[in-house]
């Protein structure tokens, strides 16, 4: 059975909305790889992280999902993200990585 999403990419973030936009651009610009989703977990940020992610969702990126984790700490954020994956496999990356366009494909 073919899944709508094969790979889930989980990104935990905290107060790095300016860097997150570039990371999202690179994750959404993956080419030739399997269908993938991007799960952003906002780890109690007080900057405009939610707005940045929502602007990408509003632009039509249907495989981008946003979750808020109020408990501070990377492990809380990643655990929430991992509980939301829809792919058979997952990748964890940081909110400040600008990735090459074949990154997901090469990992797959």
Residue 2: predicted pLDDT:
66
With respect to residue 3, please indicate whether it lies within any of the assigned structural domains.
no
Give the CATH number for residue 45. 3.90.550.10
With respect to residue 107, please indicate whether it lies within any of the assigned structural domains.
no
With respect to residue 51, please indicate whether it lies within any of the assigned structural domains.
yes
With respect to residue 2, please indicate whether it lies within any of the assigned structural domains.
no
Q: Strand, coil or helix: what is 3?
A: coil
Q: How many domains does the chain have?
A: 1
Strand order in the sheet with 89-93: 64-68, 36-42, 7-13, 89-93
Residue 32: predicted pLDDT:
87
Residue numbers of the domain that contains 38: 8-102
With respect to residue 1, please indicate whether it lies within any of the assigned structural domains.
no
Q: Whole-angstrom Cα distance, residue 35 to residue 104?
A: 9
Query: pTM surpassing 0.75?
Result: yes
Q: Over its length of 108 residues, how does the chain's per-residue pLDDT go in tens digits?
A: 667 899 999 999 999 999 999 999 999 999 988 999 999 999 999 999 999 999 999 999 999 999 999 999 999 999 999 999 999 999 999 999 999 999 999 999
């Amino acid at each position: 059975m073919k899944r709508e999403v094969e790979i889930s990419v989980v990104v935990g973030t905290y107060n790095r909305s300016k860097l997150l936009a570039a990371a999202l651009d690179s994750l959404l610009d993956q080419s030739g790889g399997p269908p993938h989703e991007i799960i952003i977990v906002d780890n109690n940020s007080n900057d405009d992280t939610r707005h940045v992610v929502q602007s990408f969702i509003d632009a039509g990126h249907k495989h981008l999902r946003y979750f808020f984790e109020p408990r501070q700490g990377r492990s809380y954020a990643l655990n929430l993200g991992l509980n939301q994956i829809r792919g058979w496999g997952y990748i964890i990356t940081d909110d400040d990585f600008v990735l090459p366009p074949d990154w997901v494909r090469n990992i797959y």
